[in-house]
Chain A
């Protein structure tokens, strides 16, 4: 039967085998294997599946790519044009929106919010994970149970009471320092600190710490290193893979968040990119093309981060098994 196959092979199918089907020799997961290629039906199915997967790439990338390309249109072209792609490519439109909306300032504000948020996310969740996973003092089981219970309650559902709490404390500090309550930097700090209370990231840290060999920490303790010293000098440097994963999750979360930032920073000079974007919901004066430009500005930093760290990110998803 195999002999038959070889005899019948046309040059075209031989070429297809070479560029496409031979690669299935290495396939070890899923139902289809190379030995199924003797059936033409399976060969057609494989080609169809590949085309569908290629279509997935297009669907996944198209909306963002369209937004960036359509941003080159001018207002009239964008509102009344019947073509998907712009007629000409000029950065003038982007530059105009960037200038007139003062996006540089929002970028700076977002950068401040993100940087502080990442530090808090790694530091506070890491410290608690270190205590619960390695030091294990009296009562660590109760604390861990409490933390795990918070996984039961999605954060968005207590957003009202959370905001009420934050508002009270921020107002208290503003009064204490005699600051203008709209533009005070105390409004930004809750956005940092809230990243330090994330049960998902805490569990990621804890599991990683527990998988590290105990020798290092014990040796350091014998050398008279304090518990905090062991964390900063040994645990964190050894845990860079998970620190990177949590940092990436934290950057994405901090950059994309707008609910709490909008409540805390509306009309403030510390407004982030997302708060500005959210304001378009009720803004009347903004033109459609300005709106599109602003959206593009908001997706560029995460896109750059994604291109730089794509491997860590896609691996992090399967390690963490959580939705980012």
Chain B
């Protein structure tokens, strides 16, 4: 009896020691998470209720939610918000379908598969800043731009590309898609490879031609993956920042300014941190909603 109790005590002591050592091991990382991620979120919300220049709270004035009212009447914000919808529209047309089509086509070839796989992922490791600068060179207007030289081969006149009316956002999205499509396509390809081959064989026996097999087996097999990719796509479009910043500086005439660019300008050009965080909290709210949808969808995927 006493021995048992002593053993219990020892076990309890041991367990406490184990817990302490485990918490000690994870404490440094938790400090990092708190400092770099958790606290800044709360700080953003607090800062967005103040007004003034800089971050010294003694010099800032508490204004409640008034910054959000200011935000909605700011013409730059209105431009950025409506641009965001154009960004989303184009990223659905170009950014969403291109990787899907790429994956479908690559899955139907039997040659050079690993070379294609490696090559299409290559743009993904390119630094975003370098990508934006290179594509700005490629889009250079006038007869010396690379794409205009290629147009010249086809007997076409030089084009203005990024400064052409209505083309700015689609071309920025093209640049972004060039960089990211490969990695998304690899994920779709893994999805296609995971489809049971017997489904295709059964369909063949039923007399379905390749095109019908693709429509009725491959595409439905990618449906759930496609939904999550769609949400991820929209989430990333809300954070568009350096492409318009480097390629057009938000122009021409605010036609490509994005919400994150506005955050950056308010905070780090005008030092109006309060207004910057107001917009970023607003973006954050939208993204949180989208991400909750994303998680709901992925949970369904893993249950299936």
Q: Which A residues are within 8 Å of any B CB, using their own CB?
A: 20, 23-24, 26-33, 35-36, 39, 42, 45-46, 49-50, 52-54, 56-57, 59-61, 63-64, 66-67, 70, 79-84, 124-125, 127-128, 130-132, 135-140, 143, 146-147, 150-169, 193-194, 196-197, 226-228, 231, 252, 255-256, 258-259, 263, 274, 277-278, 280-281, 291-292, 295, 298-299, 302-303, 305-306, 310, 313-314, 317-318, 321, 323-324
The residues in B between 245 and 304 inclusive whose CB is less than 8 angstroms from any CB of A are 245-246, 249, 260, 263, 267-268, 273, 276-277, 280-281, 283-284, 287-288, 291-292, 295
Tell whether A299 pairs with B130 under 8 Å between CB atoms, given A30-B107, A158-B280, A321-B187: yes
Tell whether A156 pairs with B22 under 8 Å between CB atoms, given A64-B122, A197-B33: no
For the complex, give the distance between the alpha carbons of A55 and B29 in Å.
Answer: 45
Indicate whether B164 reaches chain A with its CB closer than 8 angstroms: no
State whether A161 touches B36 (Cβ < 8 A): no
For the complex, give the distance between the alpha carbons of A306 and B122 in Å.
Answer: 7
Tell whether A292 pairs with B137 under 8 Å between CB atoms, given A157-B283, A160-B263, A321-B187: yes
Q: How many Å from the CB of A64 to the closest CB on chain B? A: 6
For the complex, give the distance between the alpha carbons of A137 and B27 in Å.
Answer: 12
The residues of B that contact A259 with a CB separation of less than 8 Å are: 241-242
State whether B32 touches A313 (Cβ < 8 A): no
Tell whether A23 pairs with B23 under 8 Å between CB atoms, given A135-B18, A160-B273: no
Tell whether A305 pairs with B284 under 8 Å between CB atoms, given A81-B144, A156-B260: no
Indicate whether B9 reaches chain A with its CB closer than 8 angstroms: no
A295-B133, A314-B121 provided; 11 other pairs, C-beta below 8 A? A64-B122, A132-B26, A157-B239, A159-B263, A159-B280, A161-B41, A164-B43, A197-B35, A258-B129, A310-B121, A318-B189
Q: How many Å from the CB of B206 to the closest CB on chain A? A: 14
DSSP class of B's interface residues: helix, strand, loop or mixed? Answer: helix
The residues of B that contact A66 with a CB separation of less than 8 Å are: 134, 138, 146
Q: How many Å from the CB of A216 to the closest CB on chain B? A: 18
The residues in B between 15 and 59 inclusive whose CB is less than 8 angstroms from any CB of A are 18-19, 21-23, 25-26, 28-30, 32-33, 35-41, 43-44, 47, 55
State whether B25 touches A227 (Cβ < 8 A): yes
Q: How many Å from the CB of B136 to the closest CB on chain A? A: 10
The residues of B that contact A26 with a CB separation of less than 8 Å are: 110
17 example contacts (A-B, Cβ-Cβ < 8 A) are as follows A20-B111, A30-B104, A30-B218, A52-B105, A56-B105, A82-B144, A128-B29, A138-B19, A152-B288, A152-B295, A159-B263, A161-B39, A164-B47, A227-B18, A228-B21, A256-B129, A295-B134
Tell whether A193 pairs with B36 under 8 Å between CB atoms, given A30-B108, A154-B235, A323-B184: yes
Top 10 closest pairs, chain A to chain B, by CB: A137-B22, A256-B127, A161-B40, A128-B29, A30-B107, A31-B213, A161-B43, A135-B22, A131-B26, A31-B214
